């Protein structure tokens, strides 16, 4: 039974790694509205800088008024990704209300 559990976990990790590497490569080659950096070279934790938001939104207005050039998000990918979503939270600027919970977690 232990061999089977290790094998299943290994397979899930392989799927997660392949998927994340594919996503990271596509983002690096094709996207200009946000950038991704690995946290401590960890493929399973990303810092995402969102450079573009809806220019007519109150969020964009607040960013212009406060001279904020991007929103920094932290994304942590669970062991069962892509079958479960990443945990995402806002690092900066501090955003309150709406879909942002205490500590910056998004719901």
Question: Catalytic site residues?
Answer: 107
Rounded distance between C-alpha atoms, residue 57 and residue 60, angstroms: 5
User: With left for phi above 0 and alpha for psi between -120 and 50, is residue 106 left, alpha or beta?
Assistant: beta
Give the rounded distance of the alpha carbon of 42 from its chain centre: 13
Is the bond into 3 cis (omega within 30 degrees of 0)?
no
What values do phi and psi take at 3, rounded to 5? -60, -45
List the alpha helices (DSSP H) in 31-67.
58-65
């Amino acid at each position: 039974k232990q061999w089977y559990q290790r094998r299943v976990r290994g397979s899930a990790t392989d799927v997660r790694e392949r998927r994340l590497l594919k996503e990271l490569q596509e983002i690096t080659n094709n996207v200009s509205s946000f950038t991704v950096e690995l946290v401590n070279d960890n493929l399973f934790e990303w810092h995402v800088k969102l450079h573009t938001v809806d220019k007519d939104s109150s969020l964009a207005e607040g960013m212009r008024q406060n001279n904020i050039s991007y929103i920094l998000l932290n994304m942590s990918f669970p062991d069962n990704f892509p079958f479960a979503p990443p945990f995402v939270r806002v690092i900066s600027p501090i955003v309150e209300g709406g879909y942002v919970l205490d500590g910056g977690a998004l719901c």
